[in-house]
Structure 1
Amino acid sequence: MLAAMIRTLCAAVLAAACSISMSAAASAPTPQPVSTPGTDCAAITGPPPQSVPPTSVNTLRQAYLCVLEHYYSGPVMDSRALLKSALAAYTQDLIRRGADRADLRLPALTGNRDTDWAAFAKVLGTGDPAALRAAITGMVAGLHDNHARWVRPTPPPQGGPVGTGIAGVSAQQGPQFDPAARPPLFITKVLAGSPAAKADIRPGDIMVKVNGVPAFIGDSVNHNIIDLFAADPVRLTLKRPTTGRTRTVEIRQGPITRQPPKVTSKTLPGGAVYVQLPGFYEGAADQVIAKLQGRPEAVVLDLRGNGGGSPREVTRLLGAFAHGKVTSYFCPLKGECVPNRTDDSVRLLGSRLVVLTDRACASACDDFSAAVKGNGLGTLVGTRTAGAVSGPGEGYLLDDGSVLILPKVRHLGPAREIIDTIGVPVDHYAPMTALDLATGRDPGLAKALTLL
């Protein structure tokens, strides 16, 4: 489950506010017209069909043209880079399966999108379906954009969702592991009643090894362990920070219960209201505002672990704390940036605001935090946000039922600054440690109380 959790942390990418990290290559040739524009991938308007053909060379062609037509920098991209990324991933998949081909080489490319595709398709021939899927994944990964995705729908498992129940770890940075994460790697969330909970795995437990592989190599997180979590069973070597005891436990995937996200709140000493917002899902802003109907003097808004969601929810919630403010900009490749503004139809609360953030605060959460800091609406406490905010994406349906998600604009902060890959710095650094989680301490909330 953890592997899936890491990869899908930005599940609301269709509506999330993010910025494009991919820029046009300086040596890109003059763009050539693409044949039959608009007919090779269509904006998705409903669920993919249940019965679809397998992934084919034409599916890869659709994805190629879709990127060139609809991605933020697609119109000025060097199409040769896309084909190179696709063939590299294609051949690597064949090599892993011992099925490499002696005749498989990247043809001479000219920069003309149509003729290059024709030469590329001739080399592929009928294509290998598994390698073609790897090629689409590799081509999208070559964009280096945290909100570009290729998603293959999978039917829900019979009997409901399954997993280990480990739903959060300390090294999360949006949809990936944080390259700046410092040891140790510890568990931050365990689902009640899950296999992990039944094995007495608790928040704060330090993961020393996964299937015998160390979680850290020196001071660098071992990104390779992400795939190891998909093993069934998975063997974890854990250290409990309260006792120092180390044990190895083997857990198998089993039934898990995923509760729909909801806003929770409580009154803090001194009268401030603490509100935890797990995501900017539809209706989230109004749920937070409903918790603050008494118009408290101070609000502590906990966005730690908030994976993002809709930009509309961001501007609506910000409207409860300020009016007439620009919260961010959505910028096309060419032309004027479009400002996003606070929703001034929301009644002002007049409350002081402290926002708790961490490296798992991504996408729309980055957006909200940047607007708070950039407009002086409150104080940020915790750790720097994820910086996974490249631009709101749109989904395009391919002929095998898969969906390509591509940002059409890039996100900039309220001062037109780039937040993507950088994150929003906090005003007061208060990280959560493994021992804090294990003992129920909350340094971020404690710091917020001193500020209020």
Structure 2
Amino acid sequence: MIKALCTAVLVTACSLSASAPAPRLRPATASPPAAAPDGGCAAITAPPPESAPPTSVNTLRQAYFCVLDNYYSGPAMDSTALLKSAFAAYTRDLMRRGADRADLQLPALTGNRDTDWAAFAKVLGTGDPAALRAAITGMVAGLHDNHARWHRPTPPPEGGPTGTGIVGASAMQGPQLDPAARPPLFITRVLPGSPAAKADIRPGDIIVKVNGMPAFIGDTANQGMLDAFASGKIRLTLKRPTTGRTRTVDLREGPITRQPPAVTSKTLPGGVAYVRLPGFHEGAADQVIAKLQGKPEAVVLDLRGNGGGSPREVTRLLGAFAHGKVTSYFCPLKGDCVPNRTDDSVPLLGLRLVVLTDRGCASACEDFSAAVKGNGLGTLIGTRTAGVISGPSEGYLLDDGSVLLLPKVRHLGPDREIIDTIGVPVDHHAPMTALDLATGRDPGVAKALAVL
């Protein structure tokens, strides 16, 4: 569950959400990556190479200057904060492996990015590759930006993907644990044919303990679950809400089958169309529009669990419900914000719209939801969105074949409101409970039909 959701990373471009799962990149060539003209990072235009040099001090240097030159607030950033975050992560990694060095001490920093780097690199010497990777991760994490990532592509595993098959949980906020989540923690999605499905684990099952640890400590989700789920072998204490039965299941990773995201639909009572959109992937808007060509009375668009995707798909789908509207703004560090607008080349459907959201609705999903709410295009039902929408990322290639993803602009809603870290509030609160999932009830759909 949490491993599947929290380690899903982007490996290509600015159009992808920071929280949407992305396919692993297949190697392009066997040659090393081309260096940027100035020796810094290069904007990524193709998959990383099959083979590349190991992570080195130069890789960390590239990442450092790449952030300062390309990140949204990089030009105004205190460069010493980047080096402090990197150095702290570097030393922690050495300590975990019993390889700390007596001479390893952060040098005095002046705030001059070039001289500070020279002093920093001198202390590192040749560097430890594993600790250098930890340093880049720590430096990027120090930005506290949900759309900033560092990723080292790996080839697809032989024999296909593996996992437990638990790929959704109630306490998730986009790709992370939700600090606002309340007990109980329950499973929301299980892949068919997976180890979890074979163990009769179902949506709605309440997770009482993970490897003996309580799922909640008081009213706060236990962060220790992250490491437990990442281990590949886990013991779950589960409670079935329909019967109250509690049991313990030992679960190991095994082969899983992941279907590509697909738009699905059905007809609800009263001639209302229900369309589920799992992500704003390429072509998603046209797929939704195609589902609505039968002239339904209205549409319930289910965006629960939608991790985001392409901003272009957002404006295209919004163009089916309104023309001439500002949907959001992309704002540079300095200068005027650039408005994004509905794609008015799309014919209007003329349908009443209800959108279902939850804490799994992140990034481009929030972009769409905010535009619907801010422009009065429909009604939002469910729970507040994730608040994971700092700005679209662009990818930069480093010399070890890894990819640095950095937002160049900040996202604001259609009224220039900040949505990042806050989320989009709904018009009608209708959360899904464990018992709802276990019995097939859907309070969001029920409320949508009542509103329509």
| 1:21-66 CA-partner distances (Å, limit 9, x unpaired) | xxxxxxxxxxxxxxx9853100011110111111111110000000
In the alignment, the residues of structure 1 paired with residue 161 and residue 9 of structure 2 have an alpha-carbon distance, to the nearest angstrom, of 17
| Contact 1:16/1:391 (8 A) holds in 2 | no
SS of the aligned residue for 1:308 comes to coil
**Paired residue type of 1:209:** K
Give the deviation of 1:98 after TM superposition: 1.4
SS of the aligned residue for 1:340 comes to strand
Equivalent residue number for residue 31 of structure 1: none
**Paired residue type of 1:219:** D
Equivalent residue number for residue 98 of structure 2: 98
Give the deviation of 1:9 after TM superposition: 7.1
| 1:399-435 CA-partner distances (Å, limit 9, x unpaired) | 1110000000000000001000000000000000011
Give the deviation of 1:12 after TM superposition: 7.8
Equivalent residue number for residue 288 of structure 1: 288
Equivalent residue number for residue 205 of structure 1: 205
**Paired residue type of 1:325:** K
Equivalent residue number for residue 232 of structure 1: 232
Equivalent residue number for residue 338 of structure 1: 338
Q: CA RMSD in A?
A: 1.4
In the alignment, the residues of structure 1 paired with residue 147 and residue 66 of structure 2 have an alpha-carbon distance, to the nearest angstrom, of 15
Q: In the TM superposition, what are the counterparts of 1:50-449 in structure 2 within 5 Å?
A: 50-449=50-449
In the alignment, the residues of structure 2 paired with residue 3 and residue 253 of structure 1 have an alpha-carbon distance, to the nearest angstrom, of 11
In the alignment, the residues of structure 1 paired with residue 55 and residue 247 of structure 2 have an alpha-carbon distance, to the nearest angstrom, of 44
| Contact 2:363/2:387 (8 A) holds in 1 | yes
**Paired residue type of 1:238:** L
In the alignment, the residues of structure 1 paired with residue 88 and residue 195 of structure 2 have an alpha-carbon distance, to the nearest angstrom, of 38
User: Does the C-alpha gap of structure 1 residues 323 and 11 become closer, same or farther in structure 2, counting only changes over 3 Å?
Assistant: farther
In the alignment, the residues of structure 1 paired with residue 176 and residue 2 of structure 2 have an alpha-carbon distance, to the nearest angstrom, of 11
In the alignment, the residues of structure 1 paired with residue 307 and residue 193 of structure 2 have an alpha-carbon distance, to the nearest angstrom, of 23
SS of the aligned residue for 1:229 comes to helix
Equivalent residue number for residue 46 of structure 2: 46
| Contact 1:275/1:288 (8 A) holds in 2 | yes
Give the deviation of 1:379 after TM superposition: 0.2
User: Does the C-alpha gap of structure 1 residues 317 and 444 become closer, same or farther in structure 2, counting only changes over 3 Å?
Assistant: same
In the alignment, the residues of structure 1 paired with residue 94 and residue 183 of structure 2 have an alpha-carbon distance, to the nearest angstrom, of 36
Give the deviation of 1:296 after TM superposition: 2.0
**% identical aligned pairs:** 82
User: Does the C-alpha gap of structure 1 residues 12 and 183 become closer, same or farther in structure 2, counting only changes over 3 Å?
Assistant: farther
User: Does the C-alpha gap of structure 1 residues 11 and 59 become closer, same or farther in structure 2, counting only changes over 3 Å?
Assistant: closer
| 1:335-374 CA-partner distances (Å, limit 9, x unpaired) | 1111000000111011000000000000000100000000
SS of the aligned residue for 2:449 comes to helix
In the alignment, the residues of structure 2 paired with residue 134 and residue 330 of structure 1 have an alpha-carbon distance, to the nearest angstrom, of 31
| Contact 2:57/2:127 (8 A) holds in 1 | yes
Gaps of 5+ in 2: 19-35
User: Does the C-alpha gap of structure 1 residues 86 and 62 become closer, same or farther in structure 2, counting only changes over 3 Å?
Assistant: same
User: Does the C-alpha gap of structure 1 residues 399 and 70 become closer, same or farther in structure 2, counting only changes over 3 Å?
Assistant: same
Equivalent residue number for residue 26 of structure 1: none
In the alignment, the residues of structure 2 paired with residue 70 and residue 413 of structure 1 have an alpha-carbon distance, to the nearest angstrom, of 23
SS of the aligned residue for 2:185 comes to coil
SS of the aligned residue for 1:344 comes to coil
User: Does the C-alpha gap of structure 1 residues 258 and 217 become closer, same or farther in structure 2, counting only changes over 3 Å?
Assistant: same
SS of the aligned residue for 2:53 comes to coil
| Contact 1:16/1:309 (8 A) holds in 2 | yes
**Paired residue type of 1:5:** L
SS of the aligned residue for 1:299 comes to strand
| Contact 1:234/1:250 (8 A) holds in 2 | yes
User: Does the C-alpha gap of structure 1 residues 418 and 191 become closer, same or farther in structure 2, counting only changes over 3 Å?
Assistant: same
In the alignment, the residues of structure 2 paired with residue 364 and residue 259 of structure 1 have an alpha-carbon distance, to the nearest angstrom, of 21
SS of the aligned residue for 1:75 comes to helix
The farther-off stretch of 358-367 and 246-255 is: 246-255
Give the deviation of 1:13 after TM superposition: 6.6
SS of the aligned residue for 2:330 comes to strand
| Contact 1:186/1:203 (8 A) holds in 2 | yes
In the alignment, the residues of structure 1 paired with residue 10 and residue 131 of structure 2 have an alpha-carbon distance, to the nearest angstrom, of 26
| Contact 1:2/1:164 (8 A) holds in 2 | no
Give the deviation of 1:17 after TM superposition: 6.8
In the alignment, the residues of structure 2 paired with residue 38 and residue 219 of structure 1 have an alpha-carbon distance, to the nearest angstrom, of 51
TM, length-normalised to structure 1: 0.94
| Contact 1:12/1:308 (8 A) holds in 2 | no
In the alignment, the residues of structure 2 paired with residue 295 and residue 346 of structure 1 have an alpha-carbon distance, to the nearest angstrom, of 16
| Contact 1:10/1:307 (8 A) holds in 2 | no
| Contact 2:326/2:340 (8 A) holds in 1 | yes
User: Does the C-alpha gap of structure 1 residues 10 and 448 become closer, same or farther in structure 2, counting only changes over 3 Å?
Assistant: farther
**Paired residue type of 1:387:** G
The farther-off stretch of 93-102 and 282-291 is: 93-102
In the alignment, the residues of structure 2 paired with residue 330 and residue 13 of structure 1 have an alpha-carbon distance, to the nearest angstrom, of 16
**Paired residue type of 2:207:** M
TM, length-normalised to structure 2: 0.94
In the alignment, the residues of structure 1 paired with residue 369 and residue 13 of structure 2 have an alpha-carbon distance, to the nearest angstrom, of 17
In the alignment, the residues of structure 1 paired with residue 11 and residue 448 of structure 2 have an alpha-carbon distance, to the nearest angstrom, of 29
In the alignment, the residues of structure 2 paired with residue 68 and residue 275 of structure 1 have an alpha-carbon distance, to the nearest angstrom, of 42
Give the deviation of 1:2 after TM superposition: 3.1
4+ long deviations beyond 6 Å: 9-13
User: Does the C-alpha gap of structure 1 residues 381 and 136 become closer, same or farther in structure 2, counting only changes over 3 Å?
Assistant: same
Give the deviation of 1:295 after TM superposition: 2.9
